[in-house]
Amino acid sequence: MRSSACSPASKRCATSAAQTGRRQAGERVGAFVLVRPLGTGGMGEVWLAERDDGKVEQRVAIKFLRVSRTRFAE
């Protein structure tokens, strides 16, 4: 069902994504595993994810907001 570059259980994938700030197929987010990107825009990225905790089969879209380091004038 899933075709990803790295295994959901792979710590190397999660570490790599954390170091680069980019998401990767196979990365775990809570009870979900990222499958593929659905789109990107000015505010962030949207990914297709599948629930992977064995309780229910579920596909969802997860939006990751881009964090800006720009400070606004007060």
- H-assigned helices in the chain: 11-20
Establish if 58 belongs to a structural domain: yes
Establish if 26 belongs to a structural domain: yes
- pLDDT band of 3, cuts 50, 70, 90: very low
- Domain of 49? 11-65
Q: Report the alpha-carbon angle 41-46-52, nearest 5.
A: 165
Tally of structural domains, the chain: 1
pTM: predicted TM-score of the whole model, two decimal places: 0.63
Establish if 55 belongs to a structural domain: yes
CA nearest 32: which of 10, 54, 12, 17?
Answer: 54
pLDDT tens for each residue of 4-21? 444 444 444 443 444 346
